[in-house]
Structure 1
């Protein structure tokens, strides 16, 4: 993906008539005269070169590219000194820019950047760096772009994005993302929206670099600006894959997708229901499949075998209410927490809250896991404030990241809705 569109051409054309803006070739009688104070000195050129060059300049100003090219080629054949070389390069650069000929621009730029008389070197250095990028000379591009930055090139957004993209081209995901973050901060400081595609790019690069913490950070940044169902679904799935979650972790993430209405199709429901069944929660498998069918995300007879298996397991287990006495009388909180899982999966959030709290009270459970699920159940009951408190207890990865996603969703109520 390229995030710098026509940046070099825009910068180049912004220069206007380079030759007109700087020094001009002197007429014969003016050769030895200096310009007025503050003006560039007249260039010392031969008469034959001057005529051809001025004809080229006149044609260029009239947008007669063909004539300008013919006249300038004739002038270049007459070059005998550095002044003539310098003036020809000033004409050649805007001409080649209009022709969109990067090779010609490159040659002219190299001449101008080597000459101390050249004005607007920061912008020209940026253009030279962008051309190097087009030629896949990424080390050279980075050198020119960083030099433009040092010279004070003032189109910070295009420059920063160009450096970021070049770092990506060089395989430096961290360096590129660091530059991209500068561009994001500049946009926000200016009160401007950050393009959604910038977040997509950073996430893709960090995902490729297997930086799960970085992926999570940028997904949350994206959700802050674009908290729609598409981004919620994508963010949670990308995080799941980058974090390499076990089945319990995936189950907790699917529960967040269920709560935020981010389950998109039958494949999502199949994976969720299958994991729930394999970890011993047939009530959740049954509830998820029935919800998917009711929402039209699963065909009326879809996932029939898995639903039959879940129903068979439920018959063996008996009703959840029949398990409550055992959970209350147990020596520790494990049975209560397991019953809380079953109630959570079946959608009975009030009962889930009751038995998760009982499990924590009795002890002997994974406190962070139970609090993560308690927060989930509290969201289901509408007790968002207490849910946030439960999520705050979760500090160990990868569950801490899932809790952070829950807290982010709590901060943007009503935004995580299913796609049509």
Structure 2
């Protein structure tokens, strides 16, 4: 009966997360600091006497920006280098050759030689390690990137790209927990400063958790993501994955689709097909009609769509009859004293856009059946839709079982929709 829209294989879920790939720093950004800082360092170096002729050629070739001459001079310099200072200068001019040729591997080699010489001035250690680590990251040498970037961090680097590159290096090296710890620290720091965290701090760890089949942790990350990026597309991507994990539970799928609707995240025709099919099967004609009309108003469902047109024709008169019956039953003691009847009546009221009237019914259902996790969950939904954010958050906090994850997501929505404190 259902037209599923969740045909994507599990291995492709990461693609749904949608985020541009991180880029390494451009070579041009790596040029100025090492080159400028080395000028001051040069006065303190004492090259060996035999290294003098090669050093003169290195200096002249660099000044002339003659890459071929610099390459030839480097060969001579490497052969004549006998001291630590000589080797430091060889590494420095390797960096210059890498700059001239836009060769990041050569630049990294030069920086490594300077770092490993032990002659790097303390004030330059952070800069050299950062760029060395950045080049290693670009070459996918994540172990080296971690080593260099951690050294840059320890030396007090203030490069804004460092946390994200180091985080991603840990993730790509298989150290997911370390990478996520760094991401969380970055998220908390940004939030504390009143700024929005980079979306990559969520997307990259989520992808790593998904690849490692650590679904609950992936969903923890995505739940945090919608707090800072509550766009319909982000909500849809997150709830899409949750639908993948539902195990075919129709009632749970229905609740997930309700949140998708509440966050304006229904953007494709198949989603409406499944939602409407579930509503009709559950006996909620009013909700089926409302969902179809929403799809038509949003332009997702063409007004001339025969399939949905037939459903509207069949369900509209039923919806009117159902609404009248529910209005008559909602306040009756017989309904309120019967947990099952109270819950089902509340479900209909929420579906036809009257969540405030559903609240006392769900409250009655919870009192009469304290272990009814669905009633507890849907009480929170009704409160959230009625604008009672604080009450909804409190209700969702009590939800356990297979709706606990969905309750956390509804909590995000409830908090976002709540009026700001005056």
**Which TM-score band (shorter chain)?**
0.7 to 0.9
Q: Does residue 140 in structure 1 map to residue 152 in structure 2?
A: no
CA distance in 1, matches of 2:138, 2:387: 54
Within 5 Å, give how 1:126-275 maps onto structure 2.
126-150=130-154, 152-155=155-158, 157-188=160-191, 192-241=195-244, 246-275=249-278
Contact 1:273/1:285, CA 8 A, preserved across alignment = yes
CA distance in 2, matches of 1:140, 1:159: 14
Contact 2:383/2:389, CA 8 A, preserved across alignment = yes
Contact 1:372/1:391, CA 8 A, preserved across alignment = yes
Pick closer, same or farther for the CA change 1:307–1:14 going to 2, 3 Å. Answer: farther
1:87 to 78, 89, 92: 89
CA distance in 1, matches of 2:245, 2:177: 16
Deviations 1:4-57 (A, max 9, x none): 421676345421246423235xxxxxxxxxxxxxxx3522232xx423422422
Corresponding residue number in structure 2 for 1:378:
383
Corresponding residue number in structure 1 for 2:114:
112
Note the residue ranges of structure 1 that are not aligned, 5 or more in a row: 25-39, 416-420
Pick closer, same or farther for the CA change 1:58–1:244 going to 2, 3 Å. Answer: farther
Within 5 Å, give how 1:60-79 maps onto structure 2.
60-61=62-63, 63-79=65-81
Contact 1:60/1:68, CA 8 A, preserved across alignment = yes
Contact 1:199/1:218, CA 8 A, preserved across alignment = yes
Q: Does residue 353 in structure 1 map to residue 359 in structure 2?
A: yes
Deviates more, 1:311-320 or 1:218-227: 311-320
Contact 2:137/2:169, CA 8 A, preserved across alignment = yes
Give the alignment's Cα RMSD to 1 decimal.
3.7
Contact 2:167/2:182, CA 8 A, preserved across alignment = yes
Number of matched residues?
395
- Larger Rg, first or second structure (1 or 2): 1
Deviations 1:356-398 (A, max 9, x none): 234334x23654321322232334444445444433432x144
Q: CA deviation at 1:298?
A: 0.9
Within 5 Å, give how 1:401-412 maps onto structure 2.
401-412=405-416
Pick closer, same or farther for the CA change 1:382–1:41 going to 2, 3 Å. Answer: closer
Pick closer, same or farther for the CA change 1:98–1:162 going to 2, 3 Å. Answer: farther
CA distance in 2, matches of 1:412, 1:278: 32
Pick closer, same or farther for the CA change 1:105–1:85 going to 2, 3 Å. Answer: same
Corresponding residue number in structure 1 for 2:40:
21
Deviates more, 1:326-335 or 1:154-163: 326-335
Pick closer, same or farther for the CA change 1:156–1:400 going to 2, 3 Å. Answer: farther
Deviations 1:273-301 (A, max 9, x none): 12333444444323322332243321224
Deviates more, 1:140-149 or 1:332-341: 140-149
Deviations 1:123-149 (A, max 9, x none): 333333333334433333333333444
Pick closer, same or farther for the CA change 1:306–1:402 going to 2, 3 Å. Answer: farther
Pick closer, same or farther for the CA change 1:319–1:129 going to 2, 3 Å. Answer: closer
Deviations 1:293-345 (A, max 9, x none): 24332122436269549937985996354476598537731122122212322
TM-score (structure 2 length as normaliser): 0.78
Contact 2:296/2:302, CA 8 A, preserved across alignment = yes
Corresponding residue number in structure 2 for 1:292:
295
